[in-house]
C-alpha cells in the first residue's frame, strides 16, 4: 500500500540564531510601546467606539481645538486630546504592518502544518506496509492508527411505552 500525495507548499528553516534574533526584536518592539493595553472584551464593550464613520468627526474636533481654543472648557485637556489623536494616527500604520505580519505567520504555520500532516500520512502508510516486517512498528501503527478511529457513541434508545 503506497500513498503519495505531492505537497510542498513551504520549504524553509530558521536557525537557532534567527529564532533568538526574531524573539529579541519582538521583545524590543514591545518595549518600545510600554503604553500598549490589554483590554478585556467586557472593557471594550463598555467603551465608545470610534469606527471609520466617526474618524472625520474626530479630525474636525481636532481642527476646532487648534483653531478655536477659546471655546473649549478649561476643564478639557487639549494636550491629552491632541496626544490621543496623534497616538491613534501614529499607531495605525504600525498596526497594519503587524496585522500583515501576523497573517503571513499564520498562513506559513498553516502551510507548514499541512505539509507536515501530508508527509506524516506518507510515513503512516509506510508503517502500515511494514508493520509485520520490522520489529516495533506494530506498536507504532497502533499509536498512529488511534488518530483515525472514530469513537461512536451509542444513541440512547428510549424505553418502549408501557403496553396496556
**Residue 83: closest CA among 69, 62, 68, 56:** 62
**Residue tagged 477659546 (cell numbers):** 70
Q: CA-to-CA distance for 28 and 34, rounded, in angstroms?
A: 10
Alpha carbon distance 73, 65 (integer Å): 10
pLDDT of residue 6: 75
In tens digits, the chain (164 residues) has pLDDT values of 455 667 899 999 999 999 999 999 999 999 999 999 999 999 999 999 999 999 999 999 999 999 999 999 999 999 999 999 999 999 999 999 999 999 999 999 999 999 999 999 999 999 999 999 999 999 999 999 999 988 766 666 666 666 65
For residue 43, give the C-alpha cell.
Answer: 472593557
Amino acid at each position: 500500500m503506497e500513498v503519495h500525495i505531492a505537497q510542498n507548499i513551504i520549504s524553509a528553516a530558521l536557525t537557532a540564531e534567527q529564532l533568538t534574533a526574531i524573539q529579541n526584536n519582538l521583545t524590543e518592539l514591545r518595549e518600545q510601546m510600554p503604553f500598549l493595553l490589554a483590554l478585556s472584551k467586557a472593557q471594550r464593550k463598555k467603551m465608545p467606539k470610534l469606527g471609520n464613520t466617526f474618524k472625520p468627526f474626530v479630525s474636525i474636533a481636532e481642527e476646532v481645538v487648534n483653531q478655536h481654543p477659546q471655546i473649549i472648557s478649561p476643564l478639557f485637556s487639549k494636550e491629552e486630546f491632541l496626544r490621543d489623536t496623534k497616538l491613534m494616527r501614529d499607531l495605525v500604520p504600525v498596526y497594519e504592518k503587524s496585522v500583515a505580519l501576523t497573517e503571513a505567520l499564520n498562513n506559513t504555520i498553516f502551510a507548514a502544518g499541512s505539509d507536515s500532516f501530508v508527509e506524516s500520512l506518507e510515513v503512516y502508510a509506510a508503517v502500515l506496509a511494514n508493520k509485520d516486517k520490522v520489529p516495533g512498528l506494530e506498536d507504532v501503527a497502533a499509536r498512529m492508527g488511534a488518530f483515525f478511529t472514530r469513537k461512536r457513541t451509542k444513541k440512547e434508545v428510549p424505553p418502549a411505552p408501557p403496553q396496556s
